[in-house]
Structure 1
Amino acid sequence: MKNIHDARFDLNLIAVFDALLRERNATRAAEQLGISQSAISHALRRLRTFFADPLFIKTGDGMQPTPRALELTQTVLAVMGTIRTDLLTQAGFDAAESNRRFSLCMTDMGELVFLPMLIERMRKIAPHCTLRTIQIPPRQIFSALESGDIDLAVGSLHSMPEGLFQQQLFTRSFVTIANRKNRSIGATLTVKQFFELEHVVVTLSGKTEESYDSVIDNYGPRRKIYLSTPHFLTVPLIIERNPDLVSTVPRELGRTFESYKAVRMVETPIKLPNFAIKQHWHPRYHHDAANIWLRKLLKETFERLPE
């Protein structure tokens, strides 16, 4: 193994490697590091000489890493992550004094069930910071994260674009909700009843096969889906006015809906795997001090959330 004190190598080269991995563009990497493009080119030549590999090749889609560069990726990200997280985060972002507005992409379910807890914690430790939530189609999430228009995308998101970092916050189970006045549904649902009933499903992409509860369709005949909607919060209102409809939703949401007395929870008669709630962010902000702080806040807020 080459010695880290080798005259051909210094830790500044790791920063250049890291920037090129995330930006895939020499100009943007230079802007991010605050150096000239010629300095990036010089550093890349030194890296290529040191590792005896081209590392990054110019293509129509930017500078793509070679197999050797991909082998080194985890090590480079780990080194830079340790430096930025342990040494630079506190100096780069002071939550108690900052007045930054953070933007989160989340569903209306997230706003109803999880956002209040986040706000409560954030107001205590970052009293001058504010929040904005938006909902956008899954196909737009990557560009919104890349541009910085949103800091994190949070939820159980099907069709999430490739190329984003992600971290699991917690897992949850499903429950079925039905109108309280529907006497044909007792304390429990049979599998036969379940597939005979008409269902309301929530899908952000507009594709029924990508609905939040699409895993159900792997466990029996296809359901009778009457309505697909991008909004969780309309579901209990629809079921209240249409007693023959049911819907399968995350358990916390079912519990919240049940408290409004229009619907009640019934255990879904199929044993379904839990689904994961995750936070996603763009590689460009992987080492951003404020983004690191926000990700840590969400992780700490929700990782011990009881079922």
Structure 2
Amino acid sequence: MKFSLVINGIHLANTFNFDLNLLRVLDALLRERNVSRAAERLAPSQPAASNALNRLRELLDDPLLVRVGRAMQPTPRALELEMPIRAALRQIEQSLAGGDAFAPARSQQRFTVEVTDYVELICMPRLLQQLSEEVPGVKIAIRHLSPSLPAASLDTGELDLVPGRFESISTHFVSRRWMSETLRLVARQDHPAVQQAPDLAAFLRLRHLWVHGGQTKGMVDQWLGEQGLAREIVYTTPNYLQAAHIVASTNLAVVLPAQPAHYFARLLPLQVHPLPFALGPFHLDLVSVAQRERDEALQWLIEKVLAIGRM
């Protein structure tokens, strides 16, 4: 089979002497910024990955990755090649798999998704169950979501998909409505001030834990502020799992999305109540890069995650 592969004006099929494994090594190195982790991703030894990097440097006449302190940073030339090489590899893999169609049952693809621990809890067990039954070769890597949309990581292909709540999204991203949630008040079962669903006055007398999710003000405090009211927040955390365990063993209360609230109440001595005021639902979206709308593998994953949101 003869490939004619041109990326950014470089005839890579000739340059790399048809060794497409070098493209895979360069892709892994740019994703990981680390020779050892790139070797783990590809499964060769670290010396083999180092040798491949040296060959790439010689063929492209560029250092590609340079050490800055303890980290490896890509050169401008490497950054220029990163996305075109990743797109070319996807096209080649689809062609070698037999045509343009993505073949899930034969795929060995690895997707990287950035999520909160809440989304990981409600989505990933169901997704992994489906994948293990239908596509055992597909792998998922999870990174924990930062307060804002990780736009740069999506742009470079380091991330494939990000589910979450984002106030503003650039037009070169695609946002799909995934699921809607409502909020619930959670307290330990023998909380002395919560024997039943509290009214607003009782809610305000509670000492609260707040799961901030990177926000400066959540829905509850936004509503309270509009009414000229405030609650006492004595502990703040980004972690839903830790919040549930702390509330289960203290006299703090926490407001959680309904799905994790009821999930934790099945595992821990917790009670769950509606809020004493109407906030309405909030929405979670799936965000991906618009230029990957023709990436059949990614679109297949998006459909799987969307289906979980409809359950």
What's the TM-score bracket when you normalise by the shorter of the two chains?
Answer: 0.5 to 0.7
Q: Match of 1:177? A: 186
Letter in 2 for 1:270: F
- How far apart in 2 are the matches of 1:222 and 1:259? 30
Q: Match of 1:223? A: 231
| Per-residue CA distance 1:45-99 (angstroms, 9 max, x = gap) | xxxxxxxxxxxxxxxxxxxxxxxxxxxxxxxxxxxxxxxxxxxxx8342111101
The alignment status of 1:238 with 2:246, answered yes or no, reads yes
Q: Match of 2:110? A: 101
Letter in 1 for 2:177: Q
1:212 Cα deviation from its structure 2 partner? 6.4
- How far apart in 1 are the matches of 2:288 and 2:212? 21
Instruction: Give yes or no for contact 1:121–1:301 (8 Å, CA) kept in 2.
Output: no
| Per-residue CA distance 1:153-194 (angstroms, 9 max, x = gap) | 012x24454332111122121111011121221221110111
Q: Match of 2:282? A: 275
| Per-residue CA distance 1:255-285 (angstroms, 9 max, x = gap) | 0110123221011111111111211112232
Q: Match of 1:259? A: 266
Letter in 1 for 2:245: L
**CA spacing shift, 1:241–1:301, aligned 2, 3 Å:** closer
Matches within 5 A, 1:156-175: 157-159=165-167, 161-163=169-171, 164-175=173-184
1:199 Cα deviation from its structure 2 partner? 1.6
| Per-residue CA distance 1:96-147 (angstroms, 9 max, x = gap) | 1101111111111112222111111122222210111111423461111111
Of 201, 204, 216, 2:213 maps to 204
TM-score (norm 2): 0.64
Q: Per the alignment, in what secondary structure is the counterpart of residue 255 of structure 2?
A: strand
Of 188, 192, 197, 2:201 maps to 192
- How far apart in 2 are the matches of 1:214 and 1:128? 45
1:291 Cα deviation from its structure 2 partner? 1.3
TM-score (norm 1): 0.64
The alignment status of 1:112 with 2:144, answered yes or no, reads no
Letter in 1 for 2:297: A
- How far apart in 1 are the matches of 2:144 and 2:219? 15
**CA spacing shift, 1:213–1:279, aligned 2, 3 Å:** farther
Q: Match of 2:291? A: 284
Which runs of 5 or more structure 2 residues have no equivalent in the other structure?
1-6, 11-98
- How far apart in 2 are the matches of 1:162 and 1:222? 33
Dislocated runs of 4+, deviation >6 Å: none
Instruction: Give yes or no for contact 1:113–1:252 (8 Å, CA) kept in 2.
Output: yes
Instruction: Give yes or no for contact 1:146–1:282 (8 Å, CA) kept in 2.
Output: yes
Instruction: Give yes or no for contact 2:245–2:268 (8 Å, CA) kept in 1.
Output: no
**CA spacing shift, 1:218–1:151, aligned 2, 3 Å:** farther
Which runs of 5 or more structure 1 residues have no equivalent in the other structure?
1-26, 32-89
How many percent identity over aligned positions? 19
Instruction: Give yes or no for contact 1:236–1:262 (8 Å, CA) kept in 2.
Output: no
- How far apart in 2 are the matches of 1:270 and 1:202? 19
**CA spacing shift, 1:256–1:92, aligned 2, 3 Å:** same
Instruction: Give yes or no for contact 2:149–2:166 (8 Å, CA) kept in 1.
Output: no
The alignment status of 1:296 with 2:303, answered yes or no, reads yes
Instruction: Give yes or no for contact 1:170–1:277 (8 Å, CA) kept in 2.
Output: yes
Letter in 1 for 2:128: I
